[in-house]
Amino acid sequence: MAASQKEFNQQLKKYYSFYTGGFVIFVVLLAIGEKMGMPNKWIGYCFLVFTILLYAGIGIMSRTLEVAEYYVAGRRVPAFFNGMATGADWMSAASFIGMAGTLYLSGFDGLAFIMGWTGGYVLVALLLAPYLRKFGQFTIPDFLGARYGGNIVRSLGVIAAIIASFTYVVAQIYGVGLITSRFTGLEFGIGVFVGLAGILVCSFLGGMKAVTWTQVAQYVILIIAYMIPVVWLSVKHTGIPLPQLVYGTVLEKVTEREKVLTNDPGEKAVRQIFADRAKAADEKIKALPASYQVEKDAVAKKLEDLKAASAPKGEIDAAEKALKDFPASPEAAKAKWTADKAGAAGRTAPPKPHATPYPGKDEAARNNAKWNFIGIVFCMMFGTAALPHILMRYYTTPSVHEARVSVFWSLFFIFLLYFTAPALAVLAKYDVYTLIVGSKFADLPAWVNAWRTVDPGLLNITDINKDGIVQLAEIVIGGDLIVLATPEIAGLPYVISGLVAAGGLAAALSTADGLLLTIANALSHDLYYKMINPNASPGMRITVSKILLLGVAVIAAYVTSLKPGNILFLVGAAFSIAASAFFPALVMGIFWKRASKIGAIAGIVAGLGTCLYYMVHTYPVFIQWFGTTPIQKWFGLEPISAGMFGVPIGLVTIFVVSLVTPAPDKEVQELVDHVRYPNLVGDIDTKGT
Amino acid sequence: MQLTQTHIDYWQKNLRLTAVLLAIWFVATFVLAWYAIPLAEFKMFGWPFSFYMAAQGSLIIYVLIIGYYAIAMRKSDIEHGVHEGEED
């Protein structure tokens, strides 16, 4: 086996080197095509079709009917490649497209995600990966079931795995639909299903084996796509192609510029206009219902006046539209004016200082920002160390040692993107603050006008104070714009925009694949094979898993098409849920022999229960859905950080309840020793078949 | 399956190493976040110190912690005779 594993490794390196070279040539050919007049739409289609065919090709080549290959890729994925696959599995549409935008909008406070989503791997490496690899079965509920015994703990594991993964997969499919529709002009709903086909061709035929090898391919595409525009932008602003090392100087310039913009009279005037608008909206709301008719008459009168004065057609059209869109009832007016008030009030503040930790007007606000920063870091880290689709990846390496090395490569490959994102945010901000703010509306760069018309939600610039000059307070930027528009900001050809879209698609597809497989495996392996029909033949088990995969994918796509809520919240919620449910039971199961079955059951229920209780009572959308009564936020923590309560409560519950219930029997103690040592003489064997 | 003294030593050593590395991780993460405001006064390669750490420095520390753990544990596996055969 030793020689063949080495040969296998060599072969993989050869294949993927050829593949990377081939992909680069493909991009170069498209670039030449663009020069020769190939339309942009075609370039978008080429990227979409080529990459999905590529993933399908890998999926078909890796088709398998063997259980160990289907569930854990035959346990022969070398550490280096497992690292790349984990990187792609890990980095979702939210990381690829949303991360830099979040950093752009929230400055230092956004770095909580950067720290949380990398530091969590320390917990994976030190507390989980090597032990799970030694245990060596197929799923995370497998471990819980074996360690604590009985089907109750396993079932709880299945339920938690499904809640966490499903929440997360919906966010991914949403990203797939968004990218497909934006770059090909297809409708969002159709985009979702095209993307779904892309997801299924990888995982359906070859399970984990196919998903692993496509994820490696997807990592290569996404990292190339992320780096090229940032490097280019860095050359543009600093002359040095290493953005991560040199953006400190750009950050200083941004900070100086913020100070200027805070006191600039034009900026102040615009902010004042928004403050006035917020106040006016507030007065209208207070005067309801009487104000409804007064306002409606005013709008109608304005239209009459304009017509009488034979004003330009544009103004009359606008007034007609205003009358047509006027809320139909006082209740609708209240909702609209409240939204108007919030929108205007949100734009009255001076620019948020990018480099300053926890900016706030007083001590209390700063403290609150600090607690929420720590809350997000905590939940993202412990969630990382508990999300089943990531932990599962460490079942696929050939040995315990390789599992440890593999976590190193995983974090290394993730780190490459995450330490670039803050640089991109600062470079893009510098561009906006110096080249756009202060320029004349007539001379805006072409990319600004293009994005303004394509999607006002992503970029909206309006001359509020009518001075013909762009003020920062007149710009509204949606976070996703930063990554999507960087190629154009940097002045790169359209082919790079297509590449970025392909990268975003790769990120979303790879994560969705891993998640769908986790859900299907939890159902087919843990529920069907382990609890319902332990005599099922290997062929039957794989067939059941495939049927479930299709079913879950269709349900997830359906839920996605309903467009549920805020994507970043969904992702964060998945982390908090996974952390609260899994982390305490997994880690205590390995490090504390005394942890008992009842203790684990109580701990999972208490942790998950606390987390869900907090979310359902503090997140406005959930309060509306479930009709719950809102509660005061504990320590002012946002609902996304519910895991900060769930994890400690889970740990304490397991500890206390275990101490008052009987100790686990000798077999369990042996199992714990078994997972603690990579190799023992006369060892038991827990490897799954 | 009987654990010998060397096995027990191996596990104790692993626990100590894990604890030390987790302590470093804790300082690089939560202590840093707690004192981010005062630490922002210092400069590091042109960045305010806390911004640099949260954006790059702590990440590099995480990568190093994991790399060190893999190497140190491999050594310890072999020393205590619990390493896996090459054929695994």
Task: Note whether A202 and A289 are same-domain residues.
Answer: no
For the cut 60, the answer to whether the pLDDT of residue A593 exceeds it is: yes
Write out chain B residues lying below 8 Å of A407, CB-based: 66, 70
Q: From CA A400, how far away is CA A132, in angstroms rounded?
A: 9
Global ipTM: 0.95
By CB neighbour count within 10 A (0-12 exposed, 13-18 middle, 19+ buried), where does A376 fall?
A: buried
Tell me, yes or no, whether B29 lies in a domain.
no
Task: Note whether A292 and A390 are same-domain residues.
Answer: no
Task: Note whether A338 and A363 are same-domain residues.
Answer: no
Q: From CA A53, how far away is CA A334, in angstroms rounded?
A: 51
Q: Which of A643, A654, A572 is nearest to A613 (CA)?
A: A643
Q: From CA A404, how far away is CA B66, in angstroms rounded?
A: 8
Task: Note whether A132 and A48 are same-domain residues.
Answer: yes
Tell me, yes or no, whether A685 lies in a domain.
no
pLDDT of B86: 54
Element (H, E) at A652: helix A643-660
Give the residue carrying structure tokens 């009709």.
A627
Lowest mean pLDDT among A1-15, A510-524, A607-621: A1-15
When CB atoms are compared, the residue of B1, B11, B47 closest to A683 is B1
- Report the chain A residue with the minimal C-alpha distance to residue B86: A2
Tell me, yes or no, whether A352 lies in a domain.
no
Task: Note whether A288 and A165 are same-domain residues.
Answer: no
Residue A53: count of CB within 10 angstroms of its CB: 12
Tell me, yes or no, whether B51 lies in a domain.
yes
Query: What is the pLDDT confidence band of residue A37, given thresholds at 50, 70 and 90?
Result: confident
Task: Note whether A570 and A557 are same-domain residues.
Answer: no
At A437, which CATH number?
A: 1.20.1730.10
Amino acid at A14: K
Which of helix, strand or coil describes residue B65? helix
Task: Note whether A113 and A168 are same-domain residues.
Answer: yes
- Report the chain A residue with the minimal C-alpha distance to residue B48: A355
| Residue span of the structural domain in which A204 resides | 38-244+358-561
Residue A280: count of CB within 10 angstroms of its CB: 14
A183 Cβ partners below 8 Å, 6+ apart? Answer: A44, A47, A48, A497, A498, A501
When CB atoms are compared, the residue of A123, A358, A405 closest to B70 is A405
What is the sign, positive or negative, of the torsion defined by CA atoms of A547, A549, A551, A554?
negative
When CB atoms are compared, the residue of B2, B46, B88 closest to A249 is B46
DSSP state, residue A95 = I
Tell me, yes or no, whether B71 lies in a domain.
yes
Q: Helix A363-384 to helix A643-660 angle, to the nearest 10 degrees?
A: 60
**Interchain contact B57–A (C-beta under 8 A):** no
For the cut 80, the answer to whether the pLDDT of residue A556 exceeds it is: yes
Task: Note whether A478 and A539 are same-domain residues.
Answer: yes
Interface A:B, Cβ pairs < 8 A: 155
**Interchain contact B49–A (C-beta under 8 A):** no
Query: What is the pLDDT confidence band of residue A71, given thresholds at 50, 70 and 90?
Result: confident
Element (H, E) at B41: none
pLDDT of A631: 87
pLDDT of A608: 94
Write out chain B residues lying below 8 Å of A111, CB-based: 51, 54-55
By CB neighbour count within 10 A (0-12 exposed, 13-18 middle, 19+ buried), where does A313 fall?
A: exposed
In chain B, the number of structural domains is 1
**Interchain contact B85–A (C-beta under 8 A):** yes
Q: Answer with the one of A518, A540, A561 that is the final residue of a domain.
A: A561
Q: Residue range A656-675: average pLDDT?
A: 91
Q: Answer with the one of A320, A345, A370 that is the final residue of a domain.
A: A345
pLDDT of B54: 93
Task: Note whether A200 and A334 are same-domain residues.
Answer: no
Write out chain A residues lying below 8 Å of B21, CB-based: 122, 126
Determine which of A109, A113, A408 to mutate to test the interface with B (most B C-beta atoms within 10 Å).
Answer: A408
Residue A613: count of CB within 10 angstroms of its CB: 15
Q: From CA A89, how far away is CA A73, in angstroms rounded?
A: 15
pLDDT in tens, A446-476: 888 878 877 777 888 888 888 888 999 888 8
In chain A, the number of structural domains is 3
Backbone angles phi, psi at A684, to 5 degrees: -80, 165
| Residue span of the structural domain in which B75 resides | 42-81
Which residues on neighbouring strands pair with residue A477, listed in sequence order? A459
Query: What is the pLDDT confidence band of residue A62, given thresholds at 50, 70 and 90?
Result: confident
Average pLDDT taken over every residue of chain B: 90
For the cut 90, the answer to whether the pLDDT of residue A409 exceeds it is: yes
When CB atoms are compared, the residue of B22, B54, B65 closest to A108 is B54
For the cut 70, the answer to whether the pLDDT of residue B56 exceeds it is: yes
Tell me, yes or no, whether A1 lies in a domain.
no
Residue A634: count of CB within 10 angstroms of its CB: 12
Tell me, yes or no, whether B64 lies in a domain.
yes
By CB neighbour count within 10 A (0-12 exposed, 13-18 middle, 19+ buried), where does A545 fall?
A: buried
Smallest CA–CA distance, residue A118 to chain B, in Å, is: 7
Residue A9 is encoded by which pair of tokens? Answer: 């490794």
pLDDT of B1: 58
B58–A673 C-beta distance less than 8 A: no
For the cut 80, the answer to whether the pLDDT of residue A683 exceeds it is: no
Task: Note whether A448 and A534 are same-domain residues.
Answer: yes
Long-range contacts of A634-640 (CB under 8 A, 24+ apart): A635/A371, A636/A368, A636/A371, A636/A372, A637/A371, A637/A372, A637/A375, A638/A372, A638/A375, A638/A376, A639/A569, A639/A573, A639/A614, A639/A615, A640/A375, A640/A376, A640/A379, A640/A569, A640/A572, A640/A573, A640/A576
Q: From CA A38, how far away is CA A22, in angstroms rounded?
A: 20
Write out chain A residues lying below 8 Å of B78, CB-based: none
B83–A679 C-beta distance less than 8 A: yes
pLDDT in tens, A83-124: 999 999 999 887 888 889 989 999 999 999 999 999 999 999
Task: Note whether A169 and A290 are same-domain residues.
Answer: no
DSSP state, residue A461 = E
Q: Residue range A267-272: average pLDDT?
A: 90
pLDDT in tens, A203-214: 777 888 888 999
A562 Cβ partners below 8 Å, 6+ apart? Answer: none
Q: Residue range A5-33: average pLDDT?
A: 89
pLDDT of A1: 46
- pLDDT above 90 covers a percentage of chain A that reads 34
Tell me, yes or no, whether A91 lies in a domain.
yes
Write out chain A residues lying below 8 Å of B88, CB-based: 1, 398-399, 679
Q: From CA A547, how far away is CA A553, in angstroms rounded?
A: 10
For the cut 90, the answer to whether the pLDDT of residue A568 exceeds it is: no
Write out chain A residues lying below 8 Å of B65, CB-based: 122, 125-126
Q: Residue range A171-183: average pLDDT?
A: 78
Task: Note whether A363 and A484 are same-domain residues.
Answer: yes
Smallest CA–CA distance, residue B68 to chain A, in Å, is: 9
For the cut 60, the answer to whether the pLDDT of residue A240 exceeds it is: yes
Range with the largest mean pLDDT of A324-328, A489-493, B39-43: B39-43
Determine which of B59, B61, B68, B80 to mutate to test the interface with A (most A C-beta atoms within 10 Å).
Answer: B59
- pLDDT above 70 covers a percentage of chain A that reads 98
A357–B50 C-beta distance less than 8 A: yes
Q: Residue range A141-164: average pLDDT?
A: 90
B46–A678 C-beta distance less than 8 A: no
**Interchain contact B76–A (C-beta under 8 A):** no
pLDDT in tens, A511-553: 888 898 888 888 888 888 888 888 888 888 888 888 888 888 8
B84–A399 C-beta distance less than 8 A: yes
Tell me, yes or no, whether B72 lies in a domain.
yes
For the cut 70, the answer to whether the pLDDT of residue B88 exceeds it is: no
Query: What is the pLDDT confidence band of residue A563, given thresholds at 50, 70 and 90?
Result: low
Tell me, yes or no, whether B1 lies in a domain.
no
Q: From CA A202, how far away is CA A212, in angstroms rounded?
A: 9
pLDDT in tens, A342-374: 888 888 888 888 988 998 888 899 999 999 999
pLDDT of A689: 64
Lowest mean pLDDT among A280-289, A310-319, A380-389, B67-76: A310-319
Cα–Cα distances in Å, from A590 out to A159, A386, A648, B56? 21, 14, 17, 32
The structure's pTM equals 0.90
When CB atoms are compared, the residue of A249, A252, A678 closest to B77 is A678
Which of helix, strand or coil describes residue A469? strand
Tell me, yes or no, whether A101 lies in a domain.
yes
Query: What is the pLDDT confidence band of residue B87, given thresholds at 50, 70 and 90?
Result: very low
Q: Residue range A313-322: average pLDDT?
A: 81
A370–B55 C-beta distance less than 8 A: no
CA A52 to chain centre: 21
For the cut 80, the answer to whether the pLDDT of residue A688 exceeds it is: no
Residue A305: count of CB within 10 angstroms of its CB: 11
pLDDT of A489: 81
pLDDT of A410: 95
For the cut 80, the answer to whether the pLDDT of residue A246 exceeds it is: yes
A678–B84 C-beta distance less than 8 A: yes
Average pLDDT taken over every residue of chain A: 87
Q: Residue range A590-600: average pLDDT?
A: 94
B62–A122 C-beta distance less than 8 A: yes
- Report the chain B residue with the minimal C-alpha distance to residue A354: B51
Write out chain B residues lying below 8 Å of A245, CB-based: 45
Q: Answer with the one of A324, A345, A366 that is the final residue of a domain.
A: A345
CA A507 to chain centre: 9
B74–A680 C-beta distance less than 8 A: no
Q: Are A224 and A502 in contact (CB under 8 A)?
A: no
